Structure 1
Amino acid sequence: MQEVDARGLSCPLPLLKAKQALNQIQPGETIKVLATDAGSVRDFKTFTELSGHEMLESSQHNGCYCYVIKKTG
C-alpha cells in the first residue's frame, strides 16, 4: 500500500496528491492518505463518490485524518 503524507498541506493539495498516487497504481490496489486539513473529510468523501473509487477507511485521531482508498477499474 502506497502512503501519501499530506499533513500540513491545505485544501486542495491533499486531494491532488491522492489523485497523483491513484494514477500510479493498478485497479484493486490501495493508497493510504494522511492529512491534517479538516476540509479533507468532505473533499475525500465527495471525490470517492464521484470517481467510483472505494473508501475503505476514514478515521481521525489527534487532528490527523487517515483515508484508505481502493482504486477501481
Structure 2
Amino acid sequence: MTAPNYDSELDARGLFCPEPVMMLHNRINDVEPGRVLRVVATDPSTTRDIPRFCQFLGHELVSEQEQGGEYIYLIRRGEA
C-alpha cells in the first residue's frame, strides 16, 4: 500500500509545544480546501495536539505515524 499524496508540507522538526500547532494554524490557510498538507514534527505532544486541532477546526486527519522519532501527519483541509 502506498502512502497518500500530499500537496504541500510543513516542517516543524525541532519545535516544541505550542509552536508546531501555531505554525500549522497559519500554514493550513495557504492550502486550498480538499488539498492535503503533510506535517513533520519531533515533539511528542503533537500526537495529542494535531488530532484535536483537526477535530475542532473541521480538517480531516488522513493519517498519522511515527517514524524514527518523527511524527508525520497528513491533513486534508476542510471547507472552513
Scaled by the length of structure 2, the TM-score of the pair is 0.87
Q: Deviations over 1:36-57 (max 9, x none)?
A: 0000100001111111100001
Aligned match for 1:9, one of 9, 15, 35: 15
Deviation at 1:16, TM superposition (A): 1.2
Tell whether 2:29 aligns with 1:23. Answer: yes
Tell whether 2:34 aligns with 1:34. Answer: no
Distance (Å, rounded) in 2 between the aligned partners of 1:28 and 1:61: 25
Where is the helix percentage greater, Structure 1 or Structure 2?
1
Q: CA RMSD in A?
A: 0.7
Distance (Å, rounded) in 2 between the aligned partners of 1:31 and 1:21: 9
The number of residue pairs the alignment matches comes to 73
Q: Deviations over 1:17-50 (max 9, x none)?
A: 1111111121111100000000010000111111
Query: Unaligned 5+ residue runs, structure 2?
Result: 1-6
Tell whether 2:49 aligns with 1:43. Answer: yes
Amino acid at match of 1:30: V
The percent identity for this pair of structures is: 36
Query: Which protein is bigger by CA-based radius of gyration?
Result: 2
Amino acid at match of 1:22: I
Scaled by the length of structure 1, the TM-score of the pair is 0.95
Amino acid at match of 1:5: D
Instruction: Look up the match of 2:68.
Output: 62
